[in-house]
Structure 1
Amino acid sequence: MEILLWLVPPAVVTVVAMVWVSWLGREGRGEVDREVAVQRMGAAIERGRQPTYAAPARRPDRSTGVAVRPSRRAS
């Protein structure tokens, strides 16, 4: 048990650093004005959802659960 006591100081320093960083990070988040947020949401709703590309339809895989080698062409 005594051999594990060397882990206590690094663990305490790690916990203190985590608390300190999380406390400093809280102040970095500024609140957005309610009117600005409503305008942004209205603009996003007006734009709607537009697809960026049209992907071709994929054929479903005909899996039978059995491995089959492709047939060879006759020469």
Structure 2
Amino acid sequence: MEILLWLVPSAVVAVLAMLWVAWVGREGRGEVDREVAVRRLAGALEPDARKRRRPAPGYAAPQPDRDRSTGVAVRPSRRAS
């Protein structure tokens, strides 16, 4: 048990840091005006809002055509000599 006493100072510092961050962070969240919140919600619910804000990624090279697998192993044909 005595070997774990060296953890106490670091645990106390961690708890104090968490409490300080929680105290400082709560001040930054003010009350949002109702009209502003309604406009933000309406903008987020628009059907084309996602397309407008996040364009599809472009690729430098075209995607290669994938071979269609039939699930059957086929040997290459031999030429008749």
Common topology (TM > 0.5): yes
The answer as to 2:23 corresponding to 1:48 is no
Percent identity over the alignment is 56
The residue that corresponds to 1:39 in the other structure is 39
Code of the residue aligned with 2:25 in structure 1: it is G
**What do you get for the CA RMSD once the two structures are aligned?**
3.5
Q: State the 4+ residue runs in structure 1 displaced beyond 6 angstroms.
A: 70-74
The residue that corresponds to 2:5 in the other structure is 5
Gap runs ≥5 in structure 1:
54-58
Quick one: higher RCO (CA 8 Å, sep 6+), 1 or 2?
2
- How high is the TM-score relative to the length of structure 1? 0.56
Kindly tell me the number of residue pairs found equivalent between the two proteins. 65
Gap runs ≥5 in structure 2:
57-65
Cα distance, 1:16–1:44 mapped onto 2, change above 3 Å: closer
